[in-house]
Structure 1
Amino acid sequence: MEGNPFSCAMPVTVSVGIAEFHAETDSLDDLIRRADDALYRAKTGGRNRIDLAA
């Protein structure tokens, strides 16, 4: 975000869980579960982390 259009500043951190979808073997539920697991690992690992599901 360019500039500071608001009157106060606030630090923001992001944790991300990523899962790749394999159409031959995965269901949507599998994908969501793996992404959720990866997000949980990212959050428990500290701030500003990205975790890739196995």
Structure 2
Amino acid sequence: MLKMSAQRGDVIHIFFADGRNGMIAVQSRSVFAFHFPPDVKITRERRRQEKLINDNQK
């Protein structure tokens, strides 16, 4: 089991042994518990959070 916390904007890439892949896009801060076979590769790509307020709106 892999336990991972992720923040908004992070992307979790999943690669299966048969060549298929998938992606989980995180919409809000979360904690995940993954249960996959050992031949599945999981990587995380951390992305910078988008600015909700532009500089000219302050």
TM-score range, shorter chain: under 0.3
Q: Which has the higher helix share?
A: 1
Q: Which has the higher strand share?
A: 2
Max Rg structure? 1
TM-score, normalization by structure 2: 0.23
